[in-house]
A and B are shown apart, each in its own frame.
Chain A
Amino acid sequence: EAQVTQNPRYLITVTGKKLTVTCSQNMNHEYMSWYRQDPGLGLRQIYYSMNVEVTDKGDVPEGYKVSRKEKRNFPLILESPSPNQTSLYFCASRTPERLNEQFFGPGTRLTVL
């Protein structure tokens, strides 16, 4: 089954404790993105990657890092989480051949205390 998986689905942590949210897709997609979703603000892109070792900042990259060492994986790293990073995070992947139809993961709800 074609899918995007994220782990963990839920996470409560404390300020300053480094964490990683994993994302994996099994569709051999070139493009992958991370979004955060906050009430009234919609989905905002954090980082995206057009292929292995190619990443770029989205609209709200501050406080986040990403890496793309393999085509299928695109982890999101919060080196020193802060309460304003409490949000719902989505990973997505897509391929230009399918007119950029995005497939989203199930989401990770992060709470930073």
Chain B
Amino acid sequence: QKEVEQNSGPLSVPEGAIASLNCTYSDRGSQSFFWYRQYSGKSPELIMFIYSNGDKEDGRFTAQLNKASQYVSLLIRDSQPSDSATYLCAVNRNNNDMRFGAGTRLTVKP
């Protein structure tokens, strides 16, 4: 079992729609959870972090965490073509021991 699993996609949504990205993790003791966006040829850029169960909203982005189910998700509302990128889920297991999923490629079509 991989430490962090994501659907590789590609996920395609029309402009203005909600994009839903999912991630599961194996280490139940993991403490904090991150979503990064990576454009082709660029380094990952931090979008959101969450460490408590429930939802966390920041503009058009909402991160959701369910530790009992070992599940993290990212919702992007009113998706824009500029949101087209690979989204990486990352899990901090303990003291900055960070593991990444393989990423989900998102395409937002105008």
B and A form one assembly? no
- Which residues of B are in contact with A by a Cβ distance under 8 Å? none
- Which residues of A are in contact with B by a Cβ distance under 8 Å? none
